[in-house]
Amino acid sequence: MTTLLEVSGNDPMTDHHIIPLDFDSIDGVPESHSWPPFDEPLNKIQTCDLQDSLIPVIDLTNSKAMNLIGQACKQWGMFQVINHGVPSNLVKKIESESRRLFALPTHEKRRVLRSSNGVSGYGSARISHYFDKGMWHEGFTIMGSCVDDAKVLWPHDFQRFCDTMDAYQNQMKQLTHKLLLMILETIDATQEEIDWAISTHDSRSPLQLNSYPPCPNPSHAVGLAPHTDSLLLTLLHQGDINGLEFFVDGLGWRHVQAVEGAFVVNLGDLLHIFSNAKFPSVSHRAVVNQSKHRISVAYFHGPPFESRVAPSAKFQKPRFKSLLVKEYLSLKSKHCDALSLIQT
């Protein structure tokens, strides 16, 4: 069985790409993390209420949910869901447990630093090696069980962290299954293709905790640099602090309005390939602010790494070459524009 470690192992990132800033002692944006001022999202000047936000908020108990989801996938590659069935007290716990982790002293967090060609653990996002500037971000990636790392952080009090992470991942698995069935039905995927996409056998679904501490100079820092997610689907809890933005051709960067109790769903590269580019793999980023410590939790679902990814058999003119999922991830770990490298 291929682990993510193997697919990412062939380009060990040098340490300065992995170790986040020491936010306990930082008092400004160092040159290493100072980005050229970037364009403000167009709708920053608009009132930030719902109808301004391009991304539809879809009630999963609505009988038209599947059609609305299909339209949102084609148009934006992103949507928000409410009345999804995930217990709100668990969502509150995942955020409070994440805050408890990131509130640990820097030297404690660095004891579970991700290894140079690893996936799990504390560190900057893996995309950091695409850029020569650092990000105003610290992350903690969980692949499967987090007991080993949690025992290092809290030798006598690790259970509630792990129980919360496990319970949340189980809920995410169920919600992902429900959403993928709807999304794939809108493009008439075959049963075999559906089984491939929803398979949790041997697939690796990382859980990513993101922390964006308040930043003294937010217009010169980037929380998470522009990227597309690589797998099939990402479910994001962003809490009540705005920061997620996505790029729309011709419009520029638009913010995704934080909606109480909603999950943001964005499609990844593998669904872009499978849909033969019918669904965009939306480029998105996270910006930081001066006063609030923003936390987000992202759950990534992908098919088994040994399996093959290709445009659905129903497309007469496939626009992408077929390759193994692990080959795609290995390509993406070196090139942020991996999708353009596998076009037919």
Ligand X SMILES: C=C1C[C@]23C[C@H]1CC[C@H]2[C@@]12CCC[C@@](C)(C(=O)O1)[C@H]2[C@@H]3C(=O)O
Ligand Y SMILES: O=C(O)CCC(=O)C(=O)O
Gap between the Cα atoms of 21 and 32, Å rounded:
10
Give the shortest CB-332-to-ligand X separation in angstroms. Answer: 6
* Distances 150 to 147, 187, 206 between C-alpha atoms, Å: 5, 41, 16
Instruction: With beta carbons less than 8 A apart as the criterion, state whether 48 and 257 touch.
Output: yes
Indicate the residue among 164 and 296 with the shorter CB distance to ligand Y.
296
- Which parts of 211-270 interact with Fe ion (CB under 5 A)? 229
Q: Please, which of residues 321-340 interact with ligand X by CB under 6 A?
A: 332
Residue 318 burial (CB count, 10 A)? 16
Residue 227 or 272 having the CB closest to ligand X: 227
Smallest distance from ligand Y to CB 64, Å: 27
Return the one option of ligand X, ligand Y, Fe ion, none that residue 60 interacts with (CB less than 5 to 8 A, by type): none
Single-letter code of the amino acid located at 132: D
Q: Given the complex with ligand X, which of 138 and 193 has the nearer CB atom?
A: 138
- String marking each residue 200-219 x if it binds ligand X according to CB under 6 A: ------x-x-----------
97 binds Fe ion (CB under 5 A): no
Q: Shortest CA distance to 199 belongs to which of 163, 232, 230?
A: 232
Two tokens at 39?
Answer: 């364009």
Q: How far is the CB of 284 from ligand Y (least distance, A)?
A: 5
Query: What is the smallest separation between the CB atom of 224 and ligand X, expressed in angstroms?
Result: 7
CA–CA distance from 253 to each of 58, 91, 165, 280, 282 (Å)?
22, 27, 32, 15, 11
Dist. CA 88–CA 85, nearest whole Å:
9
CA 209 remoteness from chain centre: 9
**SS3 state at 282:** coil
Which C-beta is closer to ligand X: that of 93 or that of 126? 126
Residue 254 catalytic?
Answer: no
276's tokens: 């033969």
> Which one of 99, 294, 308, 319 is the catalytic residue?
294
Beta bridge partners of 82: 59
**Residue 108: C-alpha distances to residues 92, 100, 159, 261 (Å):** 24, 12, 18, 31
Binding partner of 149, given Fe ion, ligand Y, ligand X, none, CB within 5-8 angstroms per partner class: none
Our finding on whether 119 is near ligand X (CB under 6 A) is yes
Binding residues for ligand Y, per CB under 6 A?
Answer: 208, 210, 224, 229, 236, 238, 243-244, 284, 286, 296, 298
Which one of Fe ion, ligand X, ligand Y, none is in contact with 112 (Cβ closer than 5 to 8 A by kind)? Answer: none
Q: Interacting stretch for ligand X, rule CB under 6 A, among 16-24, 161-169, 176-184, 228-236? A: 228-236
CA distances from 180 to 41, 42, 197, 205, 231 (A): 30, 31, 8, 14, 12
Give min distance, CB of 247 to ligand Y, in A: 12
Q: In what order do the strands lie in the sheet with 207-212?
A: 57-59, 78-82, 263-267, 233-237, 294-301, 207-212, 138-142, 121-123
**Binding window for ligand X (CB under 6 A); candidates: 125-133, 155-163, 280-288, 336-344:** 125-133
243 binds, among Fe ion, ligand X, ligand Y, none (CB under 5 to 8 A by kind): ligand Y
Residues in contact with ligand X by the rule CB under 6 A: 4, 119, 125-127, 141, 206, 208, 227, 229-231, 300, 332
Give the catalytic positions in this structure. Answer: 294
Give the footprint of Fe ion on this chain (CB under 5 A).
Answer: 229
